[in-house]
Amino acid sequence: MSSQAMDSVDHPIFCESVRRIRGWLGETGLGGVEQELLERLVHSSGDLALATDLRIGPGACAAGMAALAAGAVILTDTAMAAAAVAPMARRTFGNRVCSVLEQAPAVAPPAGTRAAEGMERALAACPGAVVLIGSAPTALERLLDLVASNRVAAPSLVIGMPVGFVGVAESKRHLAASGLSQIRLEGSKGGAGLVAAAVNALLRRAWLDQAA
């Protein structure tokens, strides 16, 4: 598919929305795919304040795009995020998209969550995955523990945007200190729609770049 053909799938209303978002955001200090990623997040949330909450690690977008172009599995912490990513994955590199819940027990243990319990098996089965966490800080903490203890290899990229007020900010601080390739939102903001928007921006740009 040519870059022109891929661009043509953007609805005129979306294109106008992005034009307005760029005007409202003004100078962000970002460029290229990082700016596109921010615009997708703002478009998906309607929240211009995300510009102050977004943190992108050095080389994180490039690492994620390279992994996606090479066919990396996209792991999510919820079925909702997986469903939001699957259409773009099919249209671009055909990456397998699956939720860690597919590897989880039917019932979560009293002190845990199903997403956290499924994380170890999912990471072991999908080395070099791009991991999206939009809901479960427990899953993010489990990932960090597994990598730190060398029980699994580090993912190619972690998009860490769990949403909420219990353990969320703490898990993001731990991600920030981990040294992993990462994209995150600070504070309580996040969600399945936002992690999907982030990886969809990377998929789209990687596809356009290789088609150019």
Residues labelled as active-site residues:
43
Please tell me the distance from the alpha carbon of residue 208 to that of residue 6, in angstroms, as a whole number. Answer: 7
Please tell me the distance from the alpha carbon of residue 120 to that of residue 102, in angstroms, as a whole number. Answer: 12
Please tell me the distance from the alpha carbon of residue 15 to that of residue 12, in angstroms, as a whole number. Answer: 5
Strand partners, 74: 97, 130
User: In 3-state terms, what secondary structure has residue 160?
Assistant: strand
Alpha-carbon 182 to chain mean position = 9
Six token digits for residue 39: 């615009």
Strand partners, 130: 74, 157
